[in-house]
């Protein structure tokens, strides 16, 4: 077993930067390879400890700067001996150079800034980590199966046998989509992805299909694939579900550590009239400034 290569693979798996096929291969290996699973669990533990140690190190560093500001400032020496002007050579013992001027650092200002920084750092643990936010809020937009999206069979008006069908879909395709939504809500993400991928292959990259496929991918740790689909959807000028796409894409960015891009999207959603405005604002409130 190449431990270094496995560690690189595990890091990419944890960060969600692998392709769908690579993610599936790693998940399958974790299920059958005990040594690989132990290395995976060990990596998770190391990352958790490293984050804790980094927080302690920064706290200690900022505290040291703050303590320095409380120390007495050095006194500047203003007195100096005058070197007499004479035409005769002077003995070295009669010459005294001016005492070097002491440069003071603005420790008082640094101390205030350090105190504020320490306060922010101590306050951060009350907020949620990226993984906690991702786990708590991903999947909010999963169901896009709405009554107004239905027409009669094959896109004609009306119903058939009392059944409603999705516009442009056959009755069988509508049933497959409904099953995919049920599987998403039941947290059967791999099965939901399989159905949605079949529908994408048959019907093309329709918004309602790609959006729900992206949610299933986010929930099954295929973050890179989900982000790729959502970024493509955002480029569509006539996108009706822009807030939903922005919301899901922001969660993907959070998982990838792209917090600046995530905040920009979430601010837009929070300021909209969408039903996602409140959860978007809640996520912004929970997000940490760093780590």
| 79-134 pLDDT, tens digit each | 544 444 444 555 555 445 555 554 444 444 444 444 444 444 444 444 568 888 88
50-67 per-position pLDDT tens digit? 666 666 666 666 666 556
Angle among Cα 190, 151, 183 to the nearest 5 degrees reads 15
| Total Cβ atoms within 10 A of residue 137 | 21
Residue 178: pLDDT band by 50, 70, 90 thresholds? very high
Extract the tokens encoding 59: 């706290």
Local structure of residue 152 (DSSP, 8 states): S
pLDDT of 177 strictly over 60? yes
Extract the tokens encoding 8: 């690189």
249-273 per-position pLDDT tens digit? 999 999 998 999 999 999 999 999 9
Extract the tokens encoding 88: 């005769």
Average pLDDT score, the chain: 74
As a whole number of angstroms, the distance between CA 128 and CA 82 comes to 65
Residue 161: pLDDT band by 50, 70, 90 thresholds? very low
* CATH, domain 130-286, list 1.10.287.70, 3.40.1440.60, 3.30.420.40, 1.25.40.10: 1.25.40.10
Domain ranges of the chain: 3-69, 130-286
Distances (CA, A) of 175 to 147, 148, 195, 232: 14, 16, 10, 26
pLDDT at 202: 93
| Total Cβ atoms within 10 A of residue 249 | 24
With a pLDDT cut of 90, the percent of the chain lying above it is: 30
pLDDT at 149: 47
pLDDT at 156: 43
Is residue 209 exposed (0-12), middle (13-18) or buried (19+ Cβ within 10 Å)?
A: buried
Local structure of residue 9 (DSSP, 8 states): H
pLDDT of 35 strictly over 60? yes
């Amino acid at each position: 077993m190449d431990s270094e290569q496995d560690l690189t693979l595990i890091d990419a798996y944890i960060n969600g930067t692998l392709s769908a096929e690579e993610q599936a291969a790693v998940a399958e290996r974790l299920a059958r390879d005990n040594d690989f699973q132990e290395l995976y669990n060990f990596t998770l533990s190391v990352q958790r400890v490293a984050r804790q140690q980094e927080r302690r190190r920064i706290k200690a560093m900022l505290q040291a700067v703050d303590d320095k500001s409380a120390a007495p400032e050095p006194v500047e020496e203003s007195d100096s001996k005058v070197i007499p002007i004479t035409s005769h050579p002077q003995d070295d013992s009669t010459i005294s150079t001016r005492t070097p001027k002491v440069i003071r650092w603005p420790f008082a200002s640094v101390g205030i800034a350090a105190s504020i920084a320490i306060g922010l750092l101590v306050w951060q643990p009350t907020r949620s980590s990226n993984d906690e936010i991702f786990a708590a809020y991903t999947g909010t937009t999963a169901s896009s199966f709405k009554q107004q999206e239905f027409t009669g069979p094959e896109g004609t008006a009306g119903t058939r046998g009392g059944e409603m069908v999705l516009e442009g879909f056959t009755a069988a395709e509508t049933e497959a989509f409904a099953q995919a939504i049920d599987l998403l809500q039941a947290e059967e993400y791999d099965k939901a992805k399989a159905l949605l991928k079949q529908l994408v292959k048959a019907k093309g990259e329709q918004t309602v299909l790609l959006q729900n496929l992206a949610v299933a991918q986010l929930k099954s740790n295929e973050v890179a694939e989900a982000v790729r689909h959502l970024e493509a959807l955002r480029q569509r000028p006539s996108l009706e579900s822009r807030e939903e796409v922005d919301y899901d894409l922001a969660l993907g960015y959070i998982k990838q550590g792209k917090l600046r891009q995530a905040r920009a999207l979430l601010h837009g959603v929070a300021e909209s009239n969408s039903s996602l405005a409140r959860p978007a604002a809640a996520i912004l409130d929970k997000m940490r400034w760093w780590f």
